[in-house]
Amino acid sequence: MTTKLSLAAALLAVSALAYAQGAGDDVKKAADETGHATKTAATKTAHGTTKAADKTAHETTKAADKTADTTSHAAKKTASATSDAAKKTGDATAGAAKKTGNVVTKGAKKTGHGVKKGVEKTADTAK
């Protein structure tokens, strides 16, 4: 019976060892599959992040270009309007100066004429 018992114990030990090796293989296989799935997910995430960053950079560049164009256009319009206003102001100032000059000239002539008449009257009176 000892031989049968020893044989049964040896068979039990070999079965336990075979079972442990099978369980170890299953754990390794599950770990490998998890590692592969994690690597695939990380790669896809990195690719998605890169695409999003590229798209954001492209949209930012487009917005900056539009802003620059709009600013340039507004600056040109402002410069044109300022130039037009300066010309109008210059024309109005020249017109006012011309009118002022005419009024002063007429006033001086009238004053001169009045002085001349006063001198003539004074001379007539003095005679």
pLDDT in tens, 82-99: 988 888 887 888 777 777
d(CA 124, CA 117): 10
Residue scoring higher pLDDT (48 or 100): 48
Q: Tell me what pLDDT residue 57 has.
A: 94
- Is this structure's pTM higher than 0.85? no
d(CA 45, CA 38): 10
d(CA 98, CA 121): 34
